[in-house]
Amino acid sequence: MECDVADEDAVSAAISTTVGEFGRLDGLFANAGTAGMGWLHETPAEDWRFVLGVNLDGVFFCCKHALPLMMENGGSIVATSSIAGSVAGAGGSAISYTVSKFGVIGMMRQIAVDYGQFGIRANAIQPAGVDGSNMPAHAAQDRDRSGSSAPPERMKRPVPWMPIRRAGHARDEYGATVAFLLSDDAGFIAGAQLPVDGGYLST
């Protein structure tokens, strides 16, 4: 089904439809995202609100409506942060993006602390590049729809260095990591931020 994660009513309806189809909710993967553009002094408020609306409010709405259902039987939540959730500069392309990804990590930690007593785990993954990603194209479309006029960055940044010199595979590496965190095999992992980044954050 289609769902605008920045729209709380749409998120609530999507979760209700899911539970109506399957009877319960055991796992949530909050993965929708977009990227902003520009340095802080060049960032329009519209861009700031749009990026945080998708990347942070979207995770908040999904968790808000999933948690009461999971409190009955336990469950696992995984949210996509980014290497930009730990490092600024070359790790993030915009202030709005960086702040949103730091926020996702904080949200997962707080959920893990507050809801562990209900058998609910929450963790964040921190991807680097994704092989074949359509993120740049979608981010450009999102910026157009948001009406953002943020200009391209004009100041050069350091070139990132990755020990494993390739992008990650969406299914076999990122997907497999998420499946593990959602599964009972990760039953004692909670409040973690797990880099899936080819060693980027170690450099």
Catalytic site residues? 97
How far is Cα 199 from Cα 164, in angstroms, rounded to an integer? 7
Q: Give the residues across from 146 on adjacent strands.
A: none
Of 162, 166, 100, nearest to 132 (Cα)? Answer: 166
- The Cβ-side half-sphere exposure at 166, using a 13 Å CA radius, reads 6
Q: Contact 57/107 with Cβ under 8 angstroms?
A: no
- SS3 category, 191: coil
